[in-house]
A = this chain, B = another copy of it.
């Protein structure tokens, strides 16, 4: 069975994350104890990947509630919330819900400013905002809903990813070689990942698969994180530089390409790690299936097409420096978009927890979201 990676969790009143900037060299957990630290961890990619960012943000709101309670009567008695043990309603009784609500909204607004592209961040914060803004004035019920919603976002994600894996594994035959980009694995999420969940699931079913993983500049999520996960799971993995993917695909060495997604528009256009569009384009030229694996939470029905997706531009130091060593001469400009948009006509299918969506995307996505009985 595949190895679960404890990317992000809420343990003993703290948001616990793996510091992904240090992987694979150092495998270190950080216990974040204030919302500023959670926001900073998201911004600096200590925690990254669209679903993991959503969970971390939800937990950031819960952490703010934890800290508000600790300042009052509940302080000094140790942690209040924990995903494994839940919480003791007695401990929250003294809470001034009105005062608390304003601080939690401030926390939500702080967290919303961290990264613009991943839609899961905003969806998770929307769920938390509805809980925070509820009419409920009984502290036990109020706190119970906030904690419950945060834990639910996390646990539902794990189940969703398991189903994505199973739905995607039907497309994988024994002996296939899969190419992936960036990290759409357990480290990007809280379960088995999205694109990598498909690979883990196929492997658990006894299918022997090989993986080409793009190193994924500038932050090398493929070389560092995907390689780390796949190796832990005993999957035959070969790292290539991003620009080699095109000739590797052209040479017939790849049967299928699967990536994750950071935001999917209502027409199926998909924002994902910079480089994804180029891969999809090359797959199209050689008739290699290009698939996206993503939970329904990655779909942004308010965004009609890829043109409306805001692409985060990150600091040029990601290109000019490596571990503090300057690569690019001083005075030279950089342009460092973190994502690109793959138009849906280059996508062979989108693997979700419900089904594999195929073209025509606009129609089929609408059906999945709005059909009766859903």
A254 smallest CB distance to B (angstroms): 12
Given contacts A217-B215, A282-B281, A323-B322, contact A239 B274 (CB under 8 A): no
Residue of B nearest to A343 (CB): B250
Is A325 interfacial (CB 8 A cutoff)?
yes
CA distance A326 to B22 in the complex (A): 11
Residue from B212, B223, B274 in contact with A243 in the complex, judged by beta carbons closer than 8 Å: B274
Report yes or no: A231 in contact with B332, Cβ–Cβ below 8 A: yes
What is the CA–CA distance of A207 and B321 in the complex, to the nearest angstrom? 32
Do most interface residues of chain A lie in helix, strand or loop, or is the interface mixed?
mixed
Tell me if A334 is interfacial: C-beta within 8 Å of chain B: yes
Contact mask A306-349 → B, CB, 8 Å, 1/0?
A: 00000000001001101101111101111111001100000000
- Among B245, B275, B319, the residue within 8 A (CB) of A239 is B319
Given contacts A282-B281, A332-B227, A340-B247, whether A326 and B25 have CB atoms under 8 Å apart is yes
A68 within 8 A of B: no
Check: A354 CB closer than 8 A to any chain B CB: no
> Is A218 part of the contact surface with B, judged by Cβ < 8 Å?
yes
* Interface set of A (CB-CB < 8 Å, partner B): 24-25, 212, 214-218, 220, 223-224, 227-228, 230-231, 236-248, 250, 274-275, 277-278, 281-282, 285, 316, 319-320, 322-323, 325-329, 331-337, 340-341
Using CB atoms, name the residue of chain B closest to A247.
B340
User: Beyond the given A223-B320, A227-B329, could you list 8 further A-B residue pairs with CB under 8 A, ordered by the A residue number?
Assistant: A228-B329, A230-B332, A231-B332, A236-B333, A239-B320, A240-B336, A244-B337, A323-B325
Would B322 and A322 count as touching, CB distance under 8 A?
Answer: yes
Separation in Å of the A224 CB from the closest CB of chain B?
Answer: 6
Contacts of A214 in B (CB 8 A): 243
| Whole-angstrom CA separation of A325 from B247 in the bound complex | 27
What is the CB-to-nearest-CB distance from A259 to chain B, in angstroms, rounded to a whole number? Answer: 12
How distant is A184 from chain B, measured CB to nearest CB, in Å? 15
| Nearest Cβ on chain B to A327's Cβ, whole angstroms | 5
B contact residues around A285 at 8 Å (CB): 281
On whether A278 and B246 interact (CB within 8 A), knowing A215-B217, A239-B320, A241-B319, the answer reads yes
Chain B residues whose C-beta falls within 8 Å of the C-beta of A239 in the assembled complex: 316, 319-320, 328, 332-335
Determine the chain B residues whose CB is within 8 A of the CB of A322 once the complex forms: 322-323
Interface core residue of A212, A241, A275 (most chain B CB under 10 Å): A241
Contact of A335 among B240, B329, B337 (CB under 8 A): B240
Specify which chain B residues have a CB less than 8 angstroms from the CB of A217 in the assembled complex: 215, 217, 241-243
Residues in chain B near residue A245, CB distance under 8 A: 278
Q: Which of B250, B277, B328 contacts A24 (CB 8 A)?
A: B328
- Per the bound structure, the CA–CA distance linking A218 and B215 in Å amounts to 10
> What's the nearest-Cβ distance from chain B to residue A270, in Å?
12
| Chain B residues closer than 8 Å to A334, beta-carbon distance | 238-240
Q: Which residue of chain B has the shortest Cβ distance to A232 in the bound complex?
A: B329
Q: How far is the CA of A237 from the CA of B320 in the complex (A)?
A: 13
18 contacts between A and B (CB under 8 A): A217-B242, A218-B241, A223-B319, A224-B327, A227-B332, A238-B333, A239-B316, A239-B320, A239-B328, A239-B332, A241-B242, A241-B275, A243-B275, A244-B275, A246-B281, A247-B341, A322-B322, A323-B323
